[in-house]
Structure 1
């Protein structure tokens, strides 16, 4: 009897362990010292929402908006709107790109135009540190596709078989008499030139497909090296052992009540130090933004589990189709230092108190009744040159700072050079005309101050009463 009981107890323990291994639990919040996650996304329709935004999470489920919820990059090319961004990190971690759809709905384009006569370009930014980004450029990916009418939802993945990137996206085109969205691909090493686009994924009949995202799965998890999720009427999962090889349909998420009529924009994320993944899905039909479903095996549709709304928090802004990057500690430190929730301010003139510093066509002056209002709004950042200085970054053109050149001021994109940092940095001192206000002394020309002259901003030495009044400003909300 004792031996039987011992065997029975062992069986019960084994059964409990098996059950526990099959039960998916929400990952614990990462320790404060662990690096977190960075999401790039857009937030909705309109010219300001269809730009680049960043959010940060320590655990992959609770997100905080960076930059006070404001945009971090603005497209000044193509349609001047961007959606569906993706991060690309080089294998060496020394270069980064953001690639995005060149599209601005409700600001010059509607959906019919976007699908049938839209931009054939992608918008691309490049960085060497994840915080200082190049100006955007256009990459024509669909122009060589017969009857190619647009280029949407780009993604890229490093292919170790050829030591370059497989760049893929959706294009609406006519093939074999059928007009619909299909996934095309090309190879690239620099996101400036590509090989001739080729058909990558096609669905039977008139079923279109968009929003494909591929992840590499570690050895020992499932039966495939790569898993991709796509929007094709369902959220379809497929597996392969080669990016451009044969793919096998694994199933979809209809078993947990999620179909392509409800959700889109699948976005993968692997939890750090854990064999768990989140597949974020954009609840576009209900305007609900992103929600995560969790799994321990991306290749097994039956392993996905919905999460209670109380188990995650997407932050203050709505997250639309984007991409999540697992940060290193160094990357996280740089990102959080670059985009803290710095207050938004205006600079009010001391002697023309109905006028505020504003940019117009990238020139800088003081004006009353500024429209749009964001032209007169700046974030007083920690100075690019450091040493107790401040720099003025535009709210509606992030990455652009007030900079002097030949003692004149313009709003200029930060090129990351030491000269730019010095020209765009100032010491905030007691107002020259009123100590309760502020004046701004040049970092690299300390005998000169920001002042207005004939309403335009200049960098001048101040020697007169009028000059002291012109060089005095109120930092106000």
Structure 2
């Protein structure tokens, strides 16, 4: 009971800070023309929330969910769920990776399972433009750790001293007779192969450590080139001038009323155009999601401040442990064009109005009783071949589109080829059976239209009244 009362008191202190810190200085909003910030994150438990989501901000404090608040990447490998993503940009900006925990709580795996016998893999996506991503793949990082039982919360940072990336994560393993989470690291240049994992961070006794993230600090700010924030019973701050060198403990966030019993998942961000930073922390104890704690010197705990209530807005989706990228103008343009807030719609059959287009095992048909199923939801994007056309992207399998192959339809992953783009692109025209509805003419076979036959979706020439009815649909929510 004493421990419970202490924890409640700590939460009350933090809440009071939020409402009484009106005088605290917060960074001004960036001008609309300035490049903004991209956050990659997950949103909660379950198979849908434990996927990849994106949010955008112009000032680093007010966030808007992209893609209509829907997921942008879905893991189809490992546990088929992902958490704790990091977004890594190569030094020359030519390649990007998302690396994430292979974990799906509440969809066949419990916390106990994942702690004692979880996935030893990370999930990895690659991109050259932040807009088009590869299929996910698994990277085994903990299999070579003696008694390694999982791999959680991966992060990575470019190390100029070795000209490659330091990839680091938490693994629950037994060392010197003590079973707990420690941070391990390996080096990699491509996130496909890694060096033998080594112990990176270990706390005394039985104290574990799970979440840690490093930020590169410019010269002239504080005493250290690198500062890391870690969840280890507190949100502990440490400084070093070498990523793989000796680290010095600087303090923690308890001075602003935030203890490890209240917050976790530290996530760094630098504000554009000023020597101001934020470390976002997840208020897991109160189920409050992320909040920013701002500073002008990451290596000095006395400079951290909790922003005034109402000075930040995390958007509609809850943001859970992720990563924030300061985008260039070109990156921002590509990201916002790829994931506009397009409404999710359904395609209702004209002559079987209780049936809607849906995918099942990547086949496509019209079915009844789909009102609660995301399998029947699609985003009508600007066509993959360009303006004046449309393509249908799956809501629950983002990156997968309705595509014809040998005039049969399937839900298929966009491989980026011209052939795929043409097969997945259509012209929306007046309904062939009712002009108040719609029909969809093939881009590369303009004499054919999307139609259903025996409830299966096909691409066919249309010459009869029945076929015209089969090829007519209503776009509806």
TM-score interval, smaller chain: over 0.9
Q: CA deviation at 1:162?
A: 1.3
Query: Counterparts of 1:139-178 in structure 2 under 5 Å?
Result: 139-178=139-178
Query: Counterparts of 1:312-391 in structure 2 under 5 Å?
Result: 312-370=312-370, 373-391=373-391
Higher Cα Rg, which structure:
1
Query: Counterparts of 1:109-120 in structure 2 under 5 Å?
Result: 109-120=109-120
SS of the counterpart of 2:468? helix
Query: Counterparts of 1:24-63 in structure 2 under 5 Å?
Result: 25-63=25-63
Show the counterpart of 1:188.
188
Q: Distance in 2 between matches of 1:27 and 1:159?
A: 29
Q: CA deviation at 1:74?
A: 0.7
Cα-to-partner distance string for 1:358-395 (whole Å, 9 max, x where unaligned): 00000000111127611111111111111300010111
Q: Distance in 1 between matches of 2:131 and 2:247?
A: 36
Contact between 2:25 and 2:307, CA under 8 Å: does it hold in 1? Answer: no
Q: Distance in 2 between matches of 1:247 and 1:28?
A: 32
Q: Distance in 2 between matches of 1:68 and 1:474?
A: 21
Q: CA deviation at 1:28?
A: 1.3
Contact between 1:428 and 1:441, CA under 8 Å: does it hold in 2? Answer: yes
Q: CA deviation at 1:157?
A: 0.3
Q: Distance in 2 between matches of 1:63 and 1:117?
A: 36
Show the counterpart of 1:20.
none
Query: Counterparts of 1:390-401 in structure 2 under 5 Å?
Result: 390-401=390-401
Q: Distance in 1 between matches of 2:165 and 2:464?
A: 61
Q: Distance in 2 between matches of 1:211 and 1:424?
A: 41
Structure 1 residue ranges, 4+ long, deviating more than 2 angstroms after superposition: none
Answer with 365-374 or 167-176: which moved more.
Answer: 365-374
Cα-to-partner distance string for 1:17-43 (whole Å, 9 max, x where unaligned): xxxxxx962111111110100000011
**Aligned pair 1:212/2:212, yes or no?**
yes
**Aligned pair 1:99/2:96, yes or no?**
no
Show the counterpart of 1:277.
277
Q: Distance in 2 between matches of 1:196 and 1:425?
A: 46
SS of the counterpart of 1:466? helix
Q: Distance in 1 between matches of 2:40 and 2:92?
A: 21
Show the counterpart of 1:122.
122
TM-score, normalised to structure 1, is 0.94
Q: Distance in 2 between matches of 1:381 and 1:472?
A: 19
Cα-to-partner distance string for 1:52-72 (whole Å, 9 max, x where unaligned): 110000000000011111111
SS of the counterpart of 1:311? coil
Contact between 2:24 and 2:307, CA under 8 Å: does it hold in 1? Answer: no
Q: Which of the pair has the greater relative contact order for Cα pairs under 8 Å at 6+ separation? A: 2
Contact between 1:266 and 1:279, CA under 8 Å: does it hold in 2? Answer: yes
Q: CA deviation at 1:463?
A: 1.2
Show the counterpart of 1:473.
473
Q: Distance in 1 between matches of 2:25 and 2:442?
A: 55
Show the counterpart of 1:10.
none
Show the counterpart of 1:9.
none
Contact between 1:120 and 1:151, CA under 8 Å: does it hold in 2? Answer: yes
Show the counterpart of 1:3.
none
Contact between 1:24 and 1:296, CA under 8 Å: does it hold in 2? Answer: no
Q: Distance in 2 between matches of 1:293 and 1:355?
A: 50
TM-score, normalised to structure 2, is 0.94
Q: CA deviation at 1:405?
A: 1.0
Q: Distance in 2 between matches of 1:47 and 1:387?
A: 34
SS of the counterpart of 2:285? helix
Cα-to-partner distance string for 1:123-178 (whole Å, 9 max, x where unaligned): 01111110111110010000000000000000000011111110000000000000
Answer with 339-348 or 146-155: which moved more.
Answer: 339-348
Give 5+ residue unaligned stretches, structure 1: 1-22
CA RMSD of aligned residues (A): 1.0
Give 5+ residue unaligned stretches, structure 2: 1-22
Q: Distance in 1 between matches of 2:343 and 2:43?
A: 20
Q: Distance in 2 between matches of 1:221 and 1:24?
A: 21
Cα-to-partner distance string for 1:302-334 (whole Å, 9 max, x where unaligned): 110011221100000110000000010011111
SS of the counterpart of 1:305? coil
**Aligned pair 1:242/2:242, yes or no?**
yes
Q: Distance in 2 between matches of 1:387 and 1:96?
A: 27
SS of the counterpart of 1:48? helix
Q: Distance in 2 between matches of 1:419 and 1:285?
A: 50
Q: Distance in 2 between matches of 1:205 and 1:320?
A: 29
Q: How many residues align?
A: 455
Q: CA deviation at 1:411?
A: 0.2
